């Protein structure tokens, strides 16, 4: 008799614990639903549905990436100006420029294919020239200015959208 009471009590406690765990999962689902309602998707004029928060996060990370590329460009510009004969340093800055562009390249292309092509028209020749054994310094300077202007224009478009 004692064993059956003990068994009944054990089963009762296990069932109570399981039911309370299920109840807490339901509450989590309700809070998730509320979060989803707060982050409702909006429909743009183009008919695409985009989550407001995701779009803002992508624009912010894209702007940060553009700033990194602009910083790399500035460092290359300073190196070319102060040490035009230091090929090793120019090569290093050219590689750093390429590495700073790589993480945002697809984001830029996805955001605006035309701007992406426009930027890369000058960017890839700059990277290639900066990594040559004997870079043409005048060409590097010209390409730095072109890429800087194109990136700044793209950044302004991002800010206005």
pLDDT of residue 21: 66
With a cut of 50, list the residues of the chain below it in pLDDT: 26, 28, 30-32, 34-47, 49-54
Under a CB-based contact definition with an 8 Å cutoff, are residues 42 and 49 in contact? yes
Phi/psi of residue 48, nearest 5 degrees: -80, 140
Instruction: Tell me the two tokens of residue 94.
Output: 């050219």
pLDDT of residue 13: 62
Under a CB-based contact definition with an 8 Å cutoff, are residues 107 and 117 in contact? no
Under a CB-based contact definition with an 8 Å cutoff, are residues 87 and 134 in contact? yes
pLDDT of residue 11: 63
Instruction: Tell me the two tokens of residue 126.
Output: 């700059």
Is residue 6 classed exposed, middle or buried when 0-12, 13-18 and 19+ CB atoms within 10 A define those classes? exposed
Would you say how long the chain is, in residues? 161
Neighbours of 59 (CB within 10 A): 15
The CATH architecture annotation of domain 53-160 reads Up-down Bundle (1.20)
pLDDT of residue 45: 46
Neighbours of 12 (CB within 10 A): 10
Residue among 83, 86, 69, 85 at smallest CA distance from 126: 69
pLDDT of residue 160: 83
Under a CB-based contact definition with an 8 Å cutoff, are residues 131 and 91 in contact? yes
Q: How far apart are CA 161 and CA 147, in angstroms?
A: 21
Beta strands 49-51 and 41-43, pairing class = antiparallel
pLDDT of residue 37: 46
């Amino acid at each position: 008799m004692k064993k059956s009471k003990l068994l009944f009590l054990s089963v009762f406690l296990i069932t109570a614990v399981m039911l309370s765990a299920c109840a807490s999962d339901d509450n989590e689902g309700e809070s998730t639903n509320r979060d989803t309602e707060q982050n409702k998707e909006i429909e743009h004029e183009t008919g695409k549905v985009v989550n407001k928060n995701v779009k803002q996060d992508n624009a912010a990370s894209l702007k940060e990436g553009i700033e990194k590329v602009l910083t790399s460009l500035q460092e290359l510009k300073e190196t070319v100006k102060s040490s035009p004969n230091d090929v090793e340093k120019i090569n290093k800055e050219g590689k750093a420029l390429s590495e700073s562009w790589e993480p945002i390249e697809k984001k830029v292309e996805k955001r605006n294919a035309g701007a992406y092509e426009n930027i890369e028209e000058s960017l890839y020749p700059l990277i290639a020239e900066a990594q040559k054994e004997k870079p043409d310094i005048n060409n590097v300077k010209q390409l730095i200015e072109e890429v800087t202007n194109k990136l700044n224009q793209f950044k302004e478009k991002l800010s206005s959208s």
